[in-house]
Structure 1
């Protein structure tokens, strides 16, 4: 059974993008919208992942406006929300057990950010034995600083993380392929 697993599609990450000059994917919102539409039209299960930061100054802390889901990722009635406080959606959340009870064996993952919570969740999903598909053009990364003080631009940062995950922890596909997968079946 395929389950859609959107990770941390929250307003605070858009707020953060403004402070760092944007993220790697100008088509992120449109691709997220397409994935939700395809999954819902096909009657696919969706389990939303939400980050509740424990840092007092975080845009993603509970009660902050940035903690809210973005409009295109707002859960609908009956779609469970798993709340986490670390990068992995599997640590301290009961997600693995919930997915097994649902009969999930194939996870389609996308969201924010490629280099942090998406990567960590994808790696654990693969290690836990789930067939894992990552929708690469429905994820996004931010610029990063190396230990030497150089800056890696967001697009390069995104590509490097997708390359590290592909064929090791997940099959990385694009939104068009994911919509087809969600529409046709297992």
Structure 2
């Protein structure tokens, strides 16, 4: 993998609410450690970092504004010079100005990490690919939760994660491990 000098790291929804036990069983317990490794390397290299924060329209959401769940986890708090994108739907491109910001900065390559793989990560990576960005998803720097399928069968977080990555790889994005990305920084 060749990583451009201005490749952006997009960290999705690393907010306090995502740690709520009511969201259920998750996969990839090491995901946050992988995200932090990427974030630290991005900061050292001077590449752009974009933090995405979900502001839910639903009072039942862990990301409802006005309560602590909407706040960034301290370890993922944006630093000076890093961009903040706030969204109200899973896709970080929808009604946020993200595309214009990236194009204005001449950024064409994106590394996408965060949560949830089947939701905000997948929808953001799909749009990135559809808009012509070179999108990379670090599979071990994302996680999701157990989820029932359309017919009511409970699918494990591992299966949901794998299916989402399978949906993305080769069509909308390239899915790799964080080690391959770190080796290219």
- TM-score bracket, normalised by the shorter chain, equals over 0.9
Q: Deviations over 1:63-109 (max 9, x none)?
A: 11111112221100111101000111111111100001111010000
Q: Determine the C-alpha separation between the residues in 2 that align with 1:71 and 1:150.
A: 36
For each residue in 1:2-46, what CA deviation from the matched residue of structure 2 results, as whole angstroms up to 9, or x when unmatched?
11111111111111xx12443111101111110101101111101
CA RMSD in angstroms comes to: 1.0
| Residue number in structure 1 paired with 2:122 | 119
SS at match of 1:124: helix
Q: What is the CA distance between 1:57 and its match in structure 2?
A: 1.8
Aligned twin of 2:170: 167
Query: Which residues of 2 match residues 36-115 of structure 1 at below 5 A?
Result: 36-115=39-118
CA distance in 1, matches of 2:152, 2:138: 30
Q: In the comparison of the two structures, how many residue pairs are matched?
A: 180
TM-score of the two chains, using structure 2 as the length reference: 0.94
> Which among 19, 40, 51 is matched to residue 14 of structure 1?
19
Choose the corresponding residue for 1:27, options 26, 30, 33: 30
Structure 2: runs of 5+ lacking an equivalent? 1-5
**CA-CA distance at 1:153 after TM superposition:** 0.5
1:3 aligns with 2:8: yes
1:131 aligns with 2:100: no
Flag as ranges the 4+ runs of structure 1 deviating above 6 A: none
